[in-house]
Structure 1
Amino acid sequence: MNFDYAKDSKEQRPFEYYFKKYQGMDPAEISERTGIPYDEENRYFILRLMGSTYEISYPEYEIRHREDAVGSYPLETAMNAKILALRYLVEGNRAPSAGEYLTYREVPWGEFYFRNFQGRCLARLAFGYGTKITRFQEIMEHLGANKLDLGDASYEFEFMNDLFVRFILWEGDEEFPPSSQILFSDNFPIAFSAEDMAVVGDISIGLLKTLEKQL
């Protein structure tokens, strides 16, 4: 694995820590625990993220997307996405969803980290797209997200294998600014911590911003 970021990066140490653990683990155990399929013959995991399918090699942790129409692949380019996926492979656990959705405040430690999440994700989503509803819809349709009947515009998408997120927008007017809500499928707290779930928001909104420039 080639580290393509500065040696003083705050992401270097956590990445190297989890990468070392990943190299020493049994891929069959990882697959059983996380539900991420593993191709034994070709030695890679098959992970879905934001509408695209990736092959993640073991033990090298080299990442390659399978060709599709999305056009942007954060798991190959964004270090926060690489670390998040690596953490899930090393520490995550799968659990079936009961079909319910949670606000960030409802997840363990969500209330404690909510102020950070509000500025980092909710405000960014609201002020990024609350006045550009049509553009938001175009991007979400491009990702293959499922349209919902919530707020002024809303979509559900699979963030990672069997872990779903809902983005809901309310358009602003002369009296009120735009607002947003982000909901997580109820199996998210088994897979990720509250801190990681804020990164999920970061990655998801970051992909929308990238696609907005490309479409």
Structure 2
Amino acid sequence: METNYRIAYDKYWQDIKKMVPEDIAAHLDVTYLKDTRQFIVTFFDKEYFVDYDTERIYGKVDGRVPDINAAIIILNYLAYAKPPREGDNKWVSLKELPNGGMLFYPAFHKDSILGLVKAFGHQSEKLLECSAPLGGVSVEFGDASAVFKAFPEIPLCVIVWEGDEEVPANATILFQTSIEYRLHIESSIGLGTYLASQLRRRAKLS
């Protein structure tokens, strides 16, 4: 595990262990198994054990360990657990998220959005095919779009517009405004980047 990732991984575990596990489970749509000291967390339609004692994360069904980016996002989700906040929940671009969304958007656009344009901008129907294994559900935006539950309380929406001779193809990833209270801004960005990379990988395989 690379040093920066290890620092983040260890930090979030330290944060989690300062909290009461039952409080985390009370604030999030997760299960805490008191006997085995494990959380069960659903991430993109797949359940993971998050083991409090061994500090390991692995698939409930297949035992597979998620990649380090996904693991850090899962830990941040648990470490950020707070009572739900009421308010309007609307779809917004990363640019509209506070605490650095606008600052980080150019890199996010380059690393994630342009990859979606390349993968689906001239074959938008493949987006829905590639979305299904991640729990994506078709919605009526653009030429093709899908909503994903990264976590039960954190949806993301991917939209693709096909291009032609006159108009270039385009794509976006939208977040709900409540993500500000659910994840650190860097983990929100990491979540969008993770989803884009998973969709691109499936597009190459299909």
Please give the range of the TM-score, normalised by the shorter of the 2 chains.
Answer: 0.7 to 0.9
SS at match of 2:49: strand
State the SS of the aligned residue for 1:169. Answer: strand
1:55 paired residue number: 49
Select which of 158, 167, 174 maps to 1:176: 167
> Is contact 1:155–1:168 with CA below 8 Å preserved after alignment?
yes
Q: Secondary structure at the match of 2:4?
A: coil
RMSD (Å) for aligned C-alpha atoms? 2.3
Of 79, 95, 109, 1:105 maps to: 95
Question: Which among 9, 12, 27 is matched to residue 6 of structure 2?
Answer: 12
Give structure 1 stretches of 5+ with no counterpart. Answer: none
1:97-176 to 2 correspondence within 5 Å?
Answer: 98-108=88-98, 109-176=100-167
**CA–CA separation in structure 1 for the residues paired with 2:127 and 2:9:** 32
Alpha carbons of structure 1 residues 88 and 143: separation in structure 2 relative to 1, 3 Å: closer
Distance 2:93 2:84 in 1: 18
TM-score, normalized by length of structure 2? 0.86
The code of the aligned residue for 2:35 comes to E
- Contact 1:47 1:161 (C-alpha < 8 Å) held by counterparts: no
Displacement of 1:135: 2.1
Contact 2:16 2:78 in 1 (8 A): yes
Say which of 185, 207, 215 aligns to 2:176.
185
Tell me the CA shift for residue 24 of structure 1: 4.4
Aligned positions, number: 203
2:197 partner amino acid = G
Q: Which amino acid aligns with 1:47?
A: V
CA displacement at 1:152 relative to structure 2 = 0.5
**TM-aligned CA distance change 1:212 to 1:125, over 3 Å:** closer
| Aligned-pair CA distance for 1:179 | 0.6
Structure 1 length as normaliser, TM-score?
0.82
Q: Quick check: 90-99 or 36-45, which moved more?
A: 90-99
**Residues of 2 paired with 1:83 and 1:144: CA distance?**
20
Q: Mark the CA change 1:103 to 1:143 in structure 2 (over 3 Å): closer, same or farther.
A: same
Is the CA contact (8 Å cut-off) linking 2:112 and 2:197 kept in structure 1?
no
Name the aligned partner's letter for residue 154 of structure 2. L
CA distance in 2, matches of 1:200, 1:42: 28
Q: Distance in 1 between matches of 2:10 and 2:118?
A: 35
Q: Provide the C-alpha distance between the structure 1 equivalents of 2:82 and 2:119, rounded to a whole number of angstroms.
A: 32
What do the CA deviations read for 1:34-77 (whole angstroms, capped 9, x no partner)?
A: 44321212321121111211121113232222338xxxx7xx23
24 and 93 in structure 1: CA distance in 2 versus 1, 3 angstrom threshold: closer
Give the Cα–Cα distance (whole angstroms) in 2 for the partners of residues 40 and 32 of structure 1: 13
Q: Report the counterpart of residue 82 of structure 1 in structure 2.
A: 71
Q: Deviations over 1:150-205 (max 9, x none)?
A: 10000111011211010000012123322112111231111123322110111112
